[in-house]
């Protein structure tokens, strides 16, 4: 794995966190306990901070970045991700806040300053525009996203199931050594 220090910030991995050896994690990044970062993912905290909670899975080919502070945005936007989040393949998260117990469908993009409250499903290929807030307890789909309907009890039960499933899978990958350089 490529864990790179940048400007005196070294990424920090929580207990039993897994970062695939083909992923790149740079700078001011904290990854929580039992979380997993899968092949070809880039997590770049080079101009602001990235915080990823516990039991969160960042799937293959995803890109996680921040919005730097500057004249057009004095404070910038860090990237903040909660616990028990499943981030699908090829997701782009940029300077946004993602709550707890979230499923982000494959190929989705969440942009600067957007806020996703707890217990939300975002359908595959969705676009969450800058500054948009997604209310807790709903399915959102489309480009740009629109609230489709309330989540069912079965969908809410999927959040802890998905998180636990990826904890189990990353433990298998850790046991095989896929977090270490060849």
The answer to whether the predicted template modeling score (pTM) of the entire model surpasses 0.85 is yes
Chain segment 105-123, per-residue pLDDT in tens: 999 999 999 999 999 999 9
- HSE at residue 179, side-chain half, CA atoms within 13 A, is 17
CA distance 140 to 119: 11
Residue 124 lies in a domain: yes
Residue 181 lies in a domain: no
How many separate domains does the chain show? 1
Whether the pLDDT of residue 180 is over 90: the answer is no
Q: The domain that contains 126 carries what CATH number?
A: 2.160.10.10
Beta-bridge partners for 6: 9
Beta-bridge partners for 2: 24
Domain containing 92: what range?
Answer: 2-176
Confidence category of residue 182, pLDDT binned at 50, 70, 90: low
CA distances from 168 to 55, 80, 87, 93 (A): 10, 24, 16, 24
Question: Region 45-63: what's the mean pLDDT?
Answer: 98
Residue 151 lies in a domain: yes
Residue 182 lies in a domain: no
Residue 27 near residue 11, CB atoms below 8 Å: yes
Beta-bridge partners for 26: 4, 44
Q: Which two tokens stand for residue 12?
A: 């920090």
Whether the pLDDT of residue 48 is over 60: the answer is yes
Confidence category of residue 177, pLDDT binned at 50, 70, 90: confident
pLDDT at 1: 55
Residue 154 CB-density burial (10 A; 0-12 exposed, 13-18 middle, 19+ buried): exposed
- Cα-Cα-Cα-Cα torsion 166, 132, 65, 20, nearest 10 degrees, comes to 10
pLDDT at 120: 98
Question: Region 53-82: what's the mean pLDDT?
Answer: 96
């Amino acid at each position: 794995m490529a864990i790179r220090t940048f400007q005196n910030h070294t990424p920090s991995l929580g207990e039993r966190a897994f970062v695939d050896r083909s992923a790149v994690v740079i700078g001011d990044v904290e990854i929580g306990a039992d979380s997993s970062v899968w092949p070809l993912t880039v997590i770049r905290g080079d101009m602001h901070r990235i915080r990823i909670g516990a039991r969160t899975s960042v799937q293959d080919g995803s890109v996680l970045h921040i919005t730097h502070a500057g004249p057009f945005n004095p404070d910038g936007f860090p990237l903040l991700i909660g616990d028990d989040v499943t981030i699908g393949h090829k997701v782009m998260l940029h300077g946004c806040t993602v709550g707890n117990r979230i499923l982000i469908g494959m190929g989705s993009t969440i942009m600067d300053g957007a806020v996703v409250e707890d217990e939300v499903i975002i359908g595959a290929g969705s676009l969450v525009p800058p500054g948009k807030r997604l209310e807790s307890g709903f399915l959102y789909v489309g480009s740009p996203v629109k609230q489709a309907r309330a989540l069912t009890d079965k969908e809410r039960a999927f959040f802890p199931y998905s998180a636990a499933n990826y904890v189990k899978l990353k433990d298998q990958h850790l046991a095989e050594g896929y977090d270490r350089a060849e």
